Copies of this chain bind each other. A is one copy, B any other.
Amino acid sequence: MSMENNLWQHILRVRNTSPLVHNITNYVVMNNTANSLLAIGASPIMAHAQSEVEDMVNISHSLVINIGTLDEYWEDAMLLAAKKANELQKPWVLDPVGAGATPYRDKAISSLLSLNPTVIRGNASEIIAIAKANKTVTKGVDSTAMSSEAVEAAKSLTEIHNSVICISGETDIVISKDQIICLKNGHPMMTKVTGLGCTASAIIGAFLGVTENKTEAVVSAMSLLSIAGELAAEKSTGPGSLQVNIIDKLYNMTQDEFSTHLKLSDHAS
């Protein structure tokens, strides 16, 4: 598979060029997100003031918007930043944390979605929730293994918003207009560490800052993090040490470790 050869090159490019990633993210994960970005070689900025988010987008390579602990002020800041990113043609990621949990959250997601995020990353229930909340008609579920409700939701979102969608889970599924990539790395204990999904979204932002190929950016990020999680889990006695060891492994992952463990498959969309 030709994509595999490119992934490690993107990882090296992040390490060598330190893309500046502007994060408007949630309080729970800010420290880990910043540390994960630093560990892969990127430069994190965390800034949310309405008085400066546009200027921050201007100096950054990409933007990551994560609504985990949003409120009315932050929502407005997110919209300002996303609009600026579009105006400057900079890539941006939407992480719709908790989509479907409250009407307020769904309204905020709709506003952001209307700005056509470059990438959307969420778990299956979040992707389904945003497709439903935005009246994206899902076409019914057929019987093949991969065509789950979430994949159908993702396909419709891809069509309308031209976004690459990443559905995180035991298998990560990356969906663009003409391709579906499945990634089978990771470890079950990763679900017991808060905010690894948020970290994934932030890392996607870093890769969008170094490559024009949006799908490869997403696959690079997801494979790097989930292989790091797999290797880190081997030496962890619980989710506390796993959180620490993942950051170490993001930092010291070798090409050999990466290519030995990568479990990728693709399909026509």
In the complex, identify which listed stretch (A27-35, A113-121, A148-156) lies at the interface while the others stay far away: A27-35
Q: Which residues of B contact A28 (CB under 8 A)?
A: 30-31, 34, 46
Is A193 interfacial (CB-CB < 8 Å)? yes
From 43 to 101 in chain A, residues with beta carbon under 8 angstroms from any chain B beta carbon are 44-52, 55-56, 59, 68-73, 98, 101
Provide the bound-state CA to CA distance between A255 and B31, in Å: 31
Is A168 interfacial (CB-CB < 8 Å)? no
In the complex, identify which listed stretch (A131-139, A157-165, A234-242) lies at the interface while the others stay far away: A234-242
Is A188 interfacial (CB-CB < 8 Å)? no
Is A243 interfacial (CB-CB < 8 Å)? yes
Q: Which residues of B contact A45 (CB under 8 A)?
A: 98, 101
CB pair B98–A71 under 8 Å, yes or no, is: no
CB pair A240–B39 under 8 Å, yes or no, is: yes
CB pair A29–B31 under 8 Å, yes or no, is: yes
Number of interface residues of A (CB under 8 A): 56
Is A213 interfacial (CB-CB < 8 Å)? no
Is A215 interfacial (CB-CB < 8 Å)? no
Q: Which residues of B contact A59 (CB under 8 A)?
A: 101
Nearest Cβ in chain B — how far from A40, in angstroms? Answer: 10
Q: Which residues of B contact A49 (CB under 8 A)?
A: 70-72, 104
Provide the bound-state CA to CA distance between A39 and B242, in Å: 11
In the complex, identify which listed stretch (A173-181, A245-253, A257-265) lies at the interface while the others stay far away: A245-253
CB pair B248–A34 under 8 Å, yes or no, is: no
Is A254 interfacial (CB-CB < 8 Å)? no
Among B46, B52, B193, which residue has its beta carbon within 8 angstroms of that of A68? B46
Q: Which residues of B contact A29 (CB under 8 A)?
A: 31
Of the A-B pairs whose beta carbons lie under 8 Å apart in the complex, a sample of 21, sorted by A's number, is A26-B46, A27-B30, A29-B31, A31-B31, A31-B194, A31-B195, A34-B194, A35-B243, A38-B192, A39-B239, A44-B194, A45-B98, A46-B69, A50-B71, A52-B105, A236-B248, A237-B248, A238-B247, A238-B250, A239-B248, A244-B244
What are the 5 tightest A-B residue pairs by CB atom distance, in nearest-first order? A238-B248, A240-B247, A34-B194, A49-B71, A55-B102
Residues of A within 8 A of B (CB): 26-32, 34-35, 38-39, 44-52, 55-56, 59, 68-73, 98, 101-105, 191-195, 236-241, 243-252
